[in-house]
Amino acid sequence: MTGGLRNPYLQVLLWTLGVGSALTAIVLTVPWLPQDASTAAHPVDTLYDVLAVVSCYIFALVTAILLVSVVHFRRRHNDLSDGEPIHGNTTLEAVWTAIPALLMVGAAVYSALVLADIEQTKANTHQVDITGQQFAWTFKYTSDGGFRAGELHLVKDTPYHFKLHAKDVIHSFWVPQFRLKKDAVPGMTTDIRVTPTKFGRYTLICTELCGLGHATMRAPVVVQDQAAFDRWAVQAKKNQNLVGGIS
Amino acid sequence: MTTGVAAPQHVLTPKRPRSRARQLLLGPNLLRGAWCAVLGAGFAFALVVFLRTVLNYHPIIKGGPIVTVILIASPLFFLVGIGGFDYWWKYMSGAPTEPEDHSGHGARSWKDYFRVNTDHKVIGIQYTVTALFFLLVGGALAEVMRAELAQPGEQIVNSQTFNGLFSVHASLMIFLVIIPIFAGLANFVLPLMIGAPDMAFPRLNALSYWLLPIAGLMMMASFLVPDGGAFNTGWTAYAPLSTHAPLGQQFFTIGVQFAGTSSIMTALNFLVTIITMRAPGMTFWRMPLLVWANFTTSLLVVIATPFIAGSQFLVLLDRSLHADFFQANAGGDVISYQHIFWFYSHPAVYIMMLPGFGIISEVISTKSRKPIFGYRLMALSLLAILVLGFTVWAHHMFVSGMFSWLRVPMMITTMLIAVPTGIKIFSWLATLWKGVLELSTPMLFALGFITMFTLGGISGIMLAAIPVDIHTSDTYFVVAHIHYVLFGGSMFTIFAGIYYWFPKMTGRMYDERLGKLHFWLTFISFNVTFGPMHWVGLEGMPRRVADYAQKFATWNLVESIGAFALGLATLVFVYNFIVSWAAGPRAPGNPWRARTLEWQVSSPPPIFNFDEIPQVVGGPYEYGTPGAVHAVMNGDRAKVAVPVGGDGHAAGSAGNGSGNGNGHEVPHRE
């Protein structure tokens, strides 16, 4: 069993590299994540890709050892013998304790850096106060005259500071294209910082179970240029007076 | 075990002959349990009406408070009725206790499984079968959900029912299936494995079991609540949604107390049994890894479970008495609920996994005919998970708005848990290497577990990385992760364990062909069901919704088809289970040629397990070493003058077991 390609150790190596690389190719070519539309999206996606690629090889290694064992060491019919009485190997055990530990420390440090990056405070932020209640969102454009609307309109490349409020139960603010999420909690104000980078229409999704209408608690998000925003703001202020203002 | 501590005076009283009808009505049985439960409901009704009258409440008769008190009182009356407290009541009241003649031991007919029975083997089967029943119920709820989710829009159920479905599904699967089925399997095999005649506290053991169906039926009964239906705030029951939810919520809040009490009592029982009742020579380093796993799990249960009890008591007080613990505008703190809840519910993940690790170690060692690779590190990694498991709860709260500095430390500890877990995976793989692998059903499930659990671990690492978690939190990515961990992980270990010990528990062999069919159907349909959920989650589909965007339709249909196939696979298992138990070929004592003690007695084992307490002389997995044995049984003792393969001191303690007249009273401490 030790000659050439029949060598089980070699097979494990080849399977790990081959299948690991094939999985990596799939991970990197299939668009798993939605469009990236904020400054946070790119670093988060890169972090995801790095973790996924390392995971591909780890998974390939595990399946390699398992399948090669099944092929090579499967019991022949009526074979009542035992395997080799190997009780352990301290070096090997130290290796598979230390290497995962190092990988994990690396992953944690990298994640912490990305976290600091996507949450950093920027200058000249515009504040929007966002309130969740069963089952609707209200947006108060605090830095732009304080009017209220039922849609979230943002100016591209402008850093925003959203302050989240909840009137009744916990809701959660999520725009998948921004890769950012934060709960809106009754009795306190939570923060989320977003700088949109791509024009488009997105959907704000409530992601914390908030009652029977949870699945319908959505709001349109529009990323536009300053001129379009201004035109919309004029209209929104009028509508606000018509509706009597959403408090 | 006849209790060794301050044994009460057993007075032999001649039994008065009772008529059969009288015995049926007044004897400790299900019928007495039933009428006592009704009596309890009446008592609760009267108590509430009386108090409301005295305190001038209007209306005097109000459904909510009455149901709440019934939910607490009726089960307690039922437990008294079924006879859970009979012995203690006589003992406490000074009445002559019935002599411990072990009449409550063993099962002579199927009817004995519906009584309070103190035999750990009967209780083990009661637990396992009850949990399998709830597995079918929880699975049926999931099938209805998948039917609804097969297409976008609402077709079959409205959002109220849908929210109830996933809430009850998760609660049953966690509290009534995975946690108790591990307790059931361990109940059956653990005393046998350590060479004990029973658990340390058999009466407590019986009571722990009977709390369980109460919790399960209560959760199921919530569907019958006319106003608002079943509890529908998820198994997490986040406040303040849960504190303002309709009456159905009460069935969860109180049901969890019964399930939790059952867990705690069983865990205490396991701890005392493992610490004090090991056979002579069974040192901690000679215990099978299943025993190690249940030792660690029991520590987790005893320390953590009071926290979920606490969280639900606070919800109960908020709901019933306006305590406002979680009411922000009355000085309450919303986020504190999540801290208390997850301080249990994260360790609960390990409560639902460590016993499975133990099962896998037994199966892999036996079916590879090799000792577990790195046995000591395997045991120590369990302890590492135990300790680290208490330091990671807030990783469920990265987007909750809690104080932000806690996130990075919790991420680091969460990722570090991958290290002891990785040790276990690699040690199992090394155990397979150069073994003689028999790919029967338990082994297939064990190997399936290793691959699926690795995937679940990988998505776990991604969820631990805060920036990825922020995006994926509360999406289908999380749903995929928990099912890879709890189904591909825990349930696969449970199936492995059930097939592995089926001959021991029932005395019959299961059908190997059907077992393999069950495995392959399950393995494939499991991946079809839960694999695509990773993708739809990353793409943007939130969890806990009955309706979703059109772009997720294709994958959701695939998932639903997978779920129906998974249901069919489970029916194959149920058929095999029932038919083999009823009419399978008789099982020999040790069909797997295993080394641990439970296989050295007949199948099923005799009422008191061992004619004579065995003498343990070596490790549990000494495959491949000629002449090495784990323990010396009965007649063999004379033949082995010097124990083989031990670590030296076994010879010194030889003879303890046989010298002690009361065979099951051999506490052994190192």
**DSSP symbols for B95-118:** PPBPP---TTSS-SSGGGGGS---
Residue B662: which pLDDT band, with cuts at 50, 70 and 90? very low
Q: Dump pLDDT digits (tens) for B226-251.
A: 988 999 999 999 999 999 999 999 99
Residues A46/A107, Cβ–Cβ less than 8 Å: no
Tokens of A35: 């469009």
Average pLDDT of chain A is: 93
Mind giving me the DSSP string for A126-141? EEEEEEEETTEEEEE-
Residue B15: which pLDDT band, with cuts at 50, 70 and 90? low
Is the backbone peptide bond immediately before B426 cis, with ω within 30 degrees of 0? no
Give me the mean pLDDT over the B624-652 stretch: 60
pLDDT at B640: 47
pLDDT at B21: 82
Q: Dump pLDDT digits (tens) for B124-147.
A: 999 999 999 999 999 999 999 999
Q: How far apart are CA B542 and CA B531, in angstroms?
A: 16
Q: How far apart are CA B93 and CA B214, in angstroms?
A: 27
Asked whether the predicted pLDDT for residue A243 surpasses 70, the reply is: no
pLDDT at B636: 57
B433 shares contact with chain A (CB less than 8 Å)? yes
Q: Edge-to-edge, what's the strand order for the sheet holding A200-206? A: A152-155, A218-224, A200-206, A171-175, A180-184
Residue B293: which pLDDT band, with cuts at 50, 70 and 90? very high
Contact between chains at A66 and B233 (C-beta distance less than 8 A):
no
Q: How far apart are CA B413 and CA B435, in angstroms?
A: 35
Q: Distance from A187 to chain B by nearest Cα, in Å?
A: 5
Q: How far apart are CA B118 and CA B112, in angstroms?
A: 11
Residues B218/B530, Cβ–Cβ less than 8 Å: no
Q: Dump pLDDT digits (tens) for B476-516.
A: 999 999 999 999 999 999 999 999 999 999 999 999 999 99
Q: Dump pLDDT digits (tens) for B172-231.
A: 999 999 999 999 999 999 999 999 999 999 999 999 999 999 999 999 999 999 988 999
CB-based burial, B115-144: b 16+ in 10 Å, e otherwise: bbbbbbbbbbbbbbebbbebbebbbebbbb
Q: How far apart are CA A210 and CA B234, in angstroms?
A: 10
Contact between chains at B429 and A62 (C-beta distance less than 8 A):
yes
Q: Distance from A100 to chain B by nearest Cα, in Å?
A: 6
Phi (first) and psi of residue A174, to 5 degrees: -145, 125
Q: Edge-to-edge, what's the strand order for the sheet holding A136-140? A: A148-149, A136-140, A126-133, A160-166, A190-194
What percentage of chain A reaches a pLDDT higher than 70? 96
pLDDT at A77: 85
Indicate the pairing of strand A148-149 with strand A171-175: unpaired
Partners of B586 in the β-ladder: B508
Q: Which residue has the tokens 């077991």?
A: B657
Outline where B510-655 has alpha helix (H): 512-539, 553-583, 650-653
Q: Dump pLDDT digits (tens) for A34-91.
A: 999 999 999 999 999 999 999 999 999 999 999 999 999 999 888 889 998 999 999 9
pLDDT at B646: 40
pLDDT at B666: 36
Strand segments (E) across B15-160? none
Return residues 40-59 of A near B (CB < 8 Å).
40, 43-44, 47-48, 51-52, 55, 58-59
Closest CA to A166 of A147, A138, A200: A138
A112 shares contact with chain B (CB less than 8 Å)? yes
Contacts of B303 (CB under 8 A, 6+ apart): B347, B390
Domains of chain B: 24-93 (no CATH), 111-583 (1.20.210.10)
What is the three-class DSSP state of B567? helix
Asked whether the predicted pLDDT for residue B344 surpasses 90, the reply is: yes
Q: Distance from A11 to chain B by nearest Cα, in Å?
A: 13
What is the three-class DSSP state of B469? helix
Enumerate helices (H) and strands (E) in chain B, giving the number of each.
22, 2
Q: Distance from A234 to chain B by nearest Cα, in Å?
A: 31
Q: Dump pLDDT digits (tens) for B564-574.
A: 999 999 999 99
Q: How far apart are CA B87 and CA B76, in angstroms?
A: 16
What percentage of chain B reaches a pLDDT higher than 90? 81
pLDDT at A23: 96
Outline where A31-89 has alpha helix (H): 41-72
Q: Could you count the other beta carbons within 10 Å of the beta carbon of residue B37?
A: 22
Partners of A222 in the β-ladder: A153, A201
Between chain A and chain B, how many beta carbons pairs sit less than 8 Å apart?
Answer: 252
Is the backbone peptide bond immediately before B604 cis, with ω within 30 degrees of 0? yes
What is the three-class DSSP state of B592? coil
pLDDT at B661: 34
Higher pLDDT, A51 or B25: A51
Burial class (CB in 10 A: 0-12, 13-18, 19+), B291: buried
Q: Which of B325, B402, B466, B625 to mutate to test the interface with A (most CBs of A within 10 A)?
A: B466
Average pLDDT of chain B is: 90
Asked whether the predicted pLDDT for residue B669 surpasses 50, the reply is: no
What is the three-class DSSP state of A204? strand
Q: Which helix (H) or strand (E) holds B616?
A: strand B615-616
